Amino acid sequence: MELFKNYVSQTRKPEGVLGKMMLNGMNSGHAKMADWGISHLKNIAPQQIAELGCGGGRNISVLLEKYSSAKVTAIDYSPLSVEKSKEYNKSMIQAGRCKVQQGDVTSLTLPKESFDLATGFETIYFWKDLVKCFTQVAGILKKDGIFMIVNESDGKDKSSLQFEKIIDGMKCYTPQEITSALKSAGFSAVKTDHHPDKPWITVIAKK
């Protein structure tokens, strides 16, 4: 049980051997959910994208492929995640289309009002004080910029709520809780979608 707890706790801040295993699992295990979320991005052509909490780096690659003229700046507060994401996106970094750096969403150092799109996949569970963090995200977005959140949990599914009890600092939010925090942070319009068969949710907010 202790080994299992140590492993699943790597979702918060991957490090060491277990962290490497978790990041590899994230890239493959979350792919369908992430792609479902990304399918909600329509009628936009972002040039500058911020990927917040980039994990193993797979979604950076998908965004760069979807938006072939865009550049992605990705951050994660785990040095191991930064390393893995750089490795995964090595060719795009060399091509000048991608940057990956260590950072904390509670105090973003990215340039203000510079991004057309910000994304957060399976990450806000660990963001302390959603309103504060969402305000930070709003600050780096241009006017009419989009912030997309994709979560495997809708805040009510039994499986994820069990993980809340195991993983320190984890909180699964409902679409209503996320929407309320986004509006408090200054986002003007919020749309949510719930997968028809799974507890997955996508939330899209406009600055």
Q: pLDDT 10s digit of each residue in the chain, 207 long?
A: 454 444 444 455 555 554 455 555 567 778 999 999 999 999 999 999 999 999 999 999 999 999 999 999 999 999 989 999 999 999 999 999 999 999 999 999 999 999 999 999 999 999 989 999 999 999 999 999 999 999 999 999 988 888 778 778 889 999 999 999 999 999 999 999 999 999 999 999 999
Q: 196-205: b or e for each residue (b if 16 or more CB lie within 10 Å)?
A: eeebbbbbbb
Place of tokens 């329509």: 42
pLDDT of residue 9: 44
- What is the CATH code for 2-206? 3.40.50.150
Q: Report DSSP state, residue 38.
A: H
The structure's pTM equals: 0.90
User: What pLDDT is recorded for position 163?
Assistant: 77
Segments of the chain assigned E as strands: 48-52, 71-76, 98-102, 115-121, 141-151, 189-194, 201-206
- Backbone torsions φ then ψ of 200, nearest 5 degrees: -65, 145
